[in-house]
Amino acid sequence: MATEWNYVVTAHKSTAVSRSCVGNFTAPHHLNLIVAKCTRIEIYLLTPQGIQLMFDVPLYGTIATLELFRSHSEAQDFLFVGMERYRYCILYWDGRQLLTRSGGDASHFGGRPTDNGQTGIIDLHHRLIGLHLYDGLFKVIPFDNQGQLKEPLNIRLLELLVLDIKFLYGCAIPTVAVLYQDNKDARHIKTYEIALEGKEFVEGSCSQNNLDNGAHLLVPVPLGGVIIIGEDTIVHWSSTTFKSLSINQAIIGAVGLVDPDGSRYLYGDNTGALHLLVITQEQGRVTDLKTHYMGETSIASTISYLDSGLVYIGSQFGDSQLIKLNNQADASGSFVEILEQYMNIGPIVDLCVVDLERQGQGQVITCSGAHKDGSIRAIRNGIVITNQASVQLQGIKGLWSLKTSLNDQYDTFLVVTFINETRFLAMNKENELAETDIEGFDSETQTLVCGSAIHNQLIQATAKSVRLVSSTSRDLLDQWFAPTGFSINVAAANASQVLLATGGFHLVYLEITNSKLVEVKHIELEHDISCLDINSVGENPQSSSLAAVGMWTDSVRIFSLPGLQLNWKGKFAEVVPRSVLLCTIEDVSYLFCGLGDGHLFSFVLNISKCELSARRRFSLGTQPISLCKFSSHNRTHVLAASDRPTLIYSSDKKLLYSYVNLKEMSHVCPFNTAVSPESIAIAKEAELSVGAINDFRKLHIHTIPLNEQARRICYQEQSRTLAFCSFKDKDIHTESETHFVHLLDHQTFGFLSIHTLDTFEWGCSIVSCSFSDDENSYYCVGTAYVLPMENEPTKGRILVFLVEKGELQLIAEKETKGAVYSLNAFNGKLLAAINQQIRLYKWVQRDDRSHELQSECSYHSDVLPMHTQTRGDFIVVGDIMRSLSLLVYKHDEGLIEYKARDFNTSWISAVEMLDDDIYIGADNCCNLFTVRESETHEGRLDVIGEYHLGDLVNSLQHGSLVKHHTRSMVGKYPTVIFGTISGAIGVIASIPSNLHMILEKLQSILAKSIKSVGNLSHAEWRSFYNVRRTSVARNFVDGDLIELFLKLSPSHKLAVAMAMGVDVDKLCLLVEELADLH
């Protein structure tokens, strides 16, 4: 059940790039690329191998401006960052960390924010910063002689509709060029000198009227003047020249300087075409403009030329790219070579959450990107093991890989054991696995443990004995037998040691020498032993000073070697340990204990003192766990094999747990071969396979490129398909955009069927719906006819499709008097938001047994209801201006009635019902808020929670990215997933009041103890904000800040825990469990 308290956390960071710049930021000899992604800054270093990410930094603000500059006395650059909520700061790198030089607040009470977005510019001679944030106002922040910022000044600007504003090169007095539009929609340019003493603009001598109607960008040129970018022309304009170049009509979104003297620029348009603009000049005068087509890239939002033909294309609409411009064109005429592609799933226009594999874990399927870079993205949590080979084998009881020599790069043998036999596989000359013999091993019994040993030897333990075999001759060298009357039950080995548990509660320790097995110590315990491990966690990789021993009586013990002295004992609530593992990951030693009920315990192990701390408990499944260590990409990882296989890995010395894409595995071992390096062998119920993990990202994204833009998507369980609405931009052959309904296979994401909508008809909404007295499930699509002569659509359709044999069959259609903005399945009927109406349709059978939609009732809504969600008989409506309202359907009376509304003004971008009583909305000012019916005022929805996300949410959907067991804490919290315009995916979890109180206190302590970049206030950043009011965030907790606790140093964690008045280990466990939400 949902509560009024919510935990908001990012599962996938923003990926859309809005700004980038190039300079010497981290050192005078470093060439850095700096990239802005919504609320984060990424700083890269140019290397011979490409660009390398040095670090990424979260900010308490949405980035609007990003500019590098250098004071005259400095050897490296500073970074100016302006935020959407009018804060700004100057950052610098001191060789170790990012520091704040200065900052301030540029807000102006009563100012009207600009419609064309904020502009932040720096005088090209570094005398002042200019900010155009409000209509009719230009804020100037001068630098003093030491490069420090002085007090800001406000200068009145007569032009109200400013399209762009830039400082000019070569001016003794700081001068700006202003591109603006008058009240007759004509576009002009003029210059102003900035008189700081008088706090005013002095109109310059240069102006030009009636420019290209599409003129929208200014680019200052070091040669003098500016380039004016239009849709049909590119113009170089200065006090002495006006040089125009006609271009093919396009919307140019990004321009990047190539040469420092301004003779060449790259520009990209809305079709993804990249061009080179060449400016020819003689004696300081521009004499010619030429443009050259270079090739196709993602649609550029920003272009940064790096060096030697390397160019960064940052995109808000598709994947960003690192490209190289070649001197010679390829066969297609392109000079562009794509070196790297950086995934961007923004803007997320719509999403659905689906358990496609029926494992209780959701995948997020998004409509991502825009225009020709549009795509469908399938996003799932977990590690992907790519299957490389497999063979059907029943009843596998264990797996081990062996090397001929410990120094060998690759494994030689794979040992597979069964209940009554053991088989040996080896790589043959054709690099294929083939069965072989190891003569010294016993192949007619089950193997308990097998491994490579020192002196080019192999070890095998069975119920009868331990065998030492030469890895070169494969002959038996020595054999140790179990005591008379007893058998070996459990065994563990490393390169020089063997540990055995025999009947009679005996624990026996052997050492491996050259051709000999030597019994060193033998003790008797009071209970039977269930599992053993002597994996090395010390300095010597071939031996261990400690042994982990699991008992059938629910305890685990640590013994020292070689003396088998008991050093530590722990109990596990009457559940038997079935697998133990000693392991060092990222220089931290751990003890892992897998229990018979699917729980896993981890401890941090102090080897020298043999002390265990930081006990953690995780629920991985319901069946016994088998643990295995392996290495990949020069890092150590652990696989927990069970009914829910899980990879354990570490980042910043924090253990992370991710499910893998396999439904079950019983045994696993590393298997590194020349054909399949860094692979793993996996035993399932009836199969042996070899696979590899190539990517350790927690979220995996599968891309289905469309070359068109997807708008709405949904899933249908009955047909196991996905359907989405999309459109393709108009070209010279079409008079309008072309809109489609596509059908996809749920497993392969292959295209099954397509339905083309009418000319001027747009797909606006889609839902899978089942009607009363009809066993079929249908796709219902809402459309609008968007005609050039109409301001608002007056006509639309509802199309009803049935999936038959993988094809979309149009079963029925219903004309509407307006755009069908939203559709919902509702009590065996169909609910539609059509212009200003909420209308309910029932599914009626005609005399010929066909069906049609028939209107049952309607409700006249507010300004424009764009979003609807339903639960039971209740309907929540999100309006374009009037926030949220609650309606109820009366079955007996057959009508929809108004119940309550939020009387605040908000432009709603997404809505969801958390439960019967609490509803959540997202607005176009990047806020989240929750409402419920007022207990004191009838007809009113009270706002009970407010929070500034800093990113525009386009979709809210119930679901989870992670499979939770109900016995886990977080598994009890209902969750909603959201997608944003910047490509972020987040989770909102409803939490109980007592947890909210704890987290709110922790949030406050962390906000004070973690120094923010730019000295920005966390409380101010998360406060609800729109143009009418600002209010303190309430009943929401910032999960991104909470989970930063896990990255703190041990001493910092301890200080926070002391301030909280709680045990540091318990606080760590609490935050780690919350991190499991994503």
In three-state form (DSSP H/G/I as H, E/B as E, the rest C), the secondary structure along 911-962 is: EEECCCCEEEEEECCCEEEEEEECCCCCCEEEEEEEEECCCCEEEEEECCCC
Residue count of the chain, please give it.
1078
**In the β-sheet with 422-427, what is the strand arrangement from edge to edge?**
398-402, 413-417, 422-427, 433-436
What is the Cα–Cα distance from 482 to 503, expressed in whole angstroms?
A: 9
Query: What are 649's strand-pairing partners?
Result: 656
In whole angstroms, what is the distance from residue 65 CA to residue 79 CA? 10
- CA angle 108/112/114 to nearest 5° reads 105
Query: For the residues of 304-372, what is the DSSP string, one character each?
Result: EEEETTEEEEE-SSS-EEEEEE-SS--TTS--EEEEEEE----S--EEEEE-TTSSS--EEEEEE--GG
Q: Are the beta carbons of 180 and 187 closer than 8 angstroms?
A: yes
Dihedral sign, Cα of residue 548, residue 549, residue 554, residue 555: negative
Residue ranges in the chain modelled with pLDDT below 70: 1, 357-361, 431, 573, 694-698, 732-735, 963-971
Asked whether the beta carbons of 159 and 178 are under 8 A apart, the reply is yes
Q: Which amino acid is at 294?
A: M
Write the CA distances from 556 to 500, 566, 605, 1002, integer angstroms.
16, 11, 14, 34
pLDDT of residue 159: 87
In sequence order, what are the residues at sequence separation of 6 or more whose Cβ sits closer than 8 angstroms to the Cβ of residue 200? Answer: 155, 156
Predicted pLDDT of residue 659: 78
What the block records as the tokens of 784 is 């609008």
Write the CA distances from 962 to 377, 625, 744, 821, 841, integer angstroms: 18, 19, 24, 31, 36
pLDDT at position 573 is 64
The answer to whether 766 and 748 are in contact (CB under 8 A) is no
Note if the bond before 705 is cis, omega within 30 degrees.
no
Q: For residues 160 and 136, give the distance between their C-alpha atoms in angstroms, rounded to a whole number.
A: 5
Sign (positive or negative) of CA dihedral 1035, 1039, 1043, 1044: negative
Separation between Cα atoms, residue 807 and residue 805, nearest integer Å: 6
CB atoms inside a 10 Å sphere around CB 776: 15
pLDDT value of residue 385 = 81
Region of 598 please: left (phi>0), alpha (psi -120 to 50) or beta: left
The span from the CA of 588 to the CA of 576, in Å, is: 26
> Who contacts 442 (Cβ-Cβ below 8 Å, separation ≥6)?
422, 460, 462, 464, 465, 467
How far apart are alpha carbons 320 and 732 in whole angstroms?
A: 27
- Which H or E run contains 451? strand 447-453
Query: What is the pTM assigned to this prediction?
Result: 0.84
In the β-sheet with 546-551, what is the strand arrangement from edge to edge?
A: 529-533, 546-551, 555-560, 565-571
Query: What confidence score (pLDDT) does residue 970 get?
Result: 67
The secondary element (H helix, E strand) that includes residue 514 is: none
Coil/strand/helix, residue 163: strand
Contact 727, 740 (CB under 8 A): yes
- Kindly report, residue by residue over 324-358, the tens digit of the pLDDT: 999 999 999 999 999 999 999 989 999 999 987 66
Which candidate, 434, 450, 431, places its Cα nearest to that of 442? 450
Distance CA 521, CA 490 (A): 16
The amino acid sitting at 88 is: Y
> Where do the domains of the chain lie, and which CATH numbers do they carry?
17-105 (2.40.10), 110-210 (no CATH), 218-340 (2.130.10.10), 386-697 (2.130.10.10), 710-860 (2.130.10.10), 991-1078 (1.10.150.910)
pLDDT of residue 1028: 87
pLDDT by residue (tens digit) across 537-584? Answer: 878 888 999 999 999 887 899 999 999 999 888 887 677 889 999 999
Q: Output DSSP code: residue 1057.
A: H
Q: For residue 472, how many C-alpha atoms fall within 13 Å in the half-sphere facing its CB?
A: 7
